[in-house]
Amino acid sequence: MSFMKRFLSRLGFMALTVVAMSFLIFLLVEIMPGDVAQTVLGQAATEESVAALRETMKLNDPLMVRYGRWASGYIQGDLGESLYMRGVQINSIFWRRVGHSMLLALSALIFYVPLSIFLGVLAGVRAGKFSDSVISFLGLATMALPEFVSGILLITVFSVNLNLLPLTSVIPIGQTLWQNLEILVLPACSITFVMFGYVSRMQRSSMIGVMNSDYVRAAILKGMPKRYVIFRHALKNALLPTITIIGMNMGWLFGGLIVVETLFGFPGLGSLTMTAIKTRDIPLIEACVLFITIIFVFSTFITDMMYSFLNPKIRFKREDL
């Protein structure tokens, strides 16, 4: 079973990457200028109080010991305590934010993936015709707009002028995201704007390549109807490069929406990371960045597996039979 072997070896690599990255993140935050205890107590603090705090926070232990403590805490599910909001367990705020981000990413994904694949296929099959020109132009135009520009555009049109959707994506105190699902619409649209161009153009060009391939020609000259040829013969092969592109952007989508979330004031992982960096809340930065890393690695893994599953050349080696 070469697929199983591939699965296991990729899984191993994934774990290795996460471990290496966690060390790197720990080290980076460690070598950032400024003393943690000093930051916590403020510039006015006396040397003794700083030293005392260092002692209570066990900052004087050797690097590896501290890394071990930090990492083992993570494994047990303890993300530590926020520095900025003293006494607040990171766990208590972190996972809710992650949940919000996941929901946003998922709604964006459900939105843009079918849309861009469908329009990409359409443009590819009709390459050179009017519908292709329109789709390609749309793709280029939305790709050229950074998300803060398209976001502001969307807010102006749908919130300010048409008054259809909320201006910001803030959840009122005491309510949950589920009660305010409409706040997802504009951020998801703005993400779709960014991704549509990439994905549909990739889908278009791979579709053109596949439609010009010998095997599609052979299928047409076997007398198969065009629609059947497109969906049964061409699409599966033409999806492979698109899946790679979507997968590569999955990490960004699930953990790196800093600009979009900040713009809309959406309470997700991205805006949390932003706050953590602004307030130099080191444990929170570490938690956010590590989580984003894990999402990146994991989505790469999923992409890889999907790619091998869809591609029989990887799934079945010649020697297997």
Partner 1 sequence: MKTENVLEIKELNVHYTTLTTTVVALKDVSLHVGPKEALGIIGESGCGKSTLSYAIMDYLPLNGASTGQILFKGEDLLALSNKEMQKFRGNRIAMVYQNPYSSLNPSLTIGFQLEEVTMFHRGFTREKARETAIETLIDLHLGDAVGIVKRYPHQISGGMQQRICIAMALLCRPDLMILDEPTTALDVTTEAVILDLILELKEKYDMSMIYISHDIGVVNKVSDRIAIMYRGEVVETGDKKAIFDDPQHPYTRALINCIPRSGVVKEHVKLNTIPGYVTRRSAEESGCPFVARCEQKNSTCEEQYGMKEWAENHYTACDRAYATDVPAKKLQVDEGSIPDTGDAEHKNVLELDNVYRYFGHAGKRVRAVDGINLTMERNSVLGVVGESGCGKSTMGHTVTGLYPPTKGRILFDGTDISVSWRKRSPDVLKNLQLIFQNPGRSLNPSFTLEQIIGRPMKKLLGIESKQERRKLIIDILKKVDLGEEYISRKPKQLSGGEMQRAAVARAFSISPNLLVCDEPTSALDASVQASVLNLLVDLQKESGASYMFISHDLNVINYLSDQIMVMYLGRICEYGTKNEVVGSPHHPYTEALLSAVPDVDPTKTRGTIRLKGAPPNPTQKIVGCPFSGRCHRKIGKICDTTPPPKVDISETHYVYCHLPPHEMDIIATKKGM
Q: Does 28 bind partner 1 (CB under 8 A)?
A: no
Collapsing DSSP to helix, strand or coil, 244 comes out as helix
Tell which positions 299-318 bind partner 1, by CB under 8 A. Answer: 310-313, 316, 318
Whichever of 41 and 224 has its CB closer to partner 1, that residue is 224
- What is the spatial distance between Cα 140 and Cα 198, in angstroms, rounded to a whole number? 8
Contacting residue, 145, 224, 274, 306, with partner 1 by CB under 8 A: 224
Tell me the per-residue interface mask from 112 to 151 with partner 1, x by CB under 8 A, - otherwise. ----------------x-----------------------
Q: Residue 89: what are its φ and ψ, rounded to 5°?
A: -75, 135
Cβ atoms of 308 and 315 closer than 8 Å: yes
Q: Does 221 bind partner 1 (CB under 8 A)?
A: yes
Of the ranges 50-58, 90-98, 112-120, 218-226, which one interacts with partner 1 (CB under 8 A)?
218-226
Whichever of 85 and 240 has its CB closer to partner 1, that residue is 240
Q: Does 244 bind partner 1 (CB under 8 A)?
A: no
Name the nearest CA neighbour of 95 among 305, 295, 291, 294.
291
Helix (H), strand (E) at residue 102? helix 90-125
The neighbour count for residue 40, using CB atoms within 10 Å, is 18
**Least separation in angstroms between CB 190 and partner 1:** 35
- What is the spatial distance between Cα 232 and Cα 234, in angstroms, rounded to a whole number? 6
Name the nearest CA neighbour of 288 among 269, 271, 275.
269
Contacting residue, 237, 275, 279, 308, with partner 1 by CB under 8 A: 237
Whichever of 219 and 285 has its CB closer to partner 1, that residue is 219
For 317, which DSSP code?
Answer: -
Of the ranges 79-87, 224-232, 284-292, 296-304, which one interacts with partner 1 (CB under 8 A)?
224-232
- What is the spatial distance between Cα 214 and Cα 237, in angstroms, rounded to a whole number? 13
Q: Where does this chain bind partner 1 (CB under 8 A)?
A: 128, 213-226, 232-233, 236-237, 310-313, 316, 318, 320-321
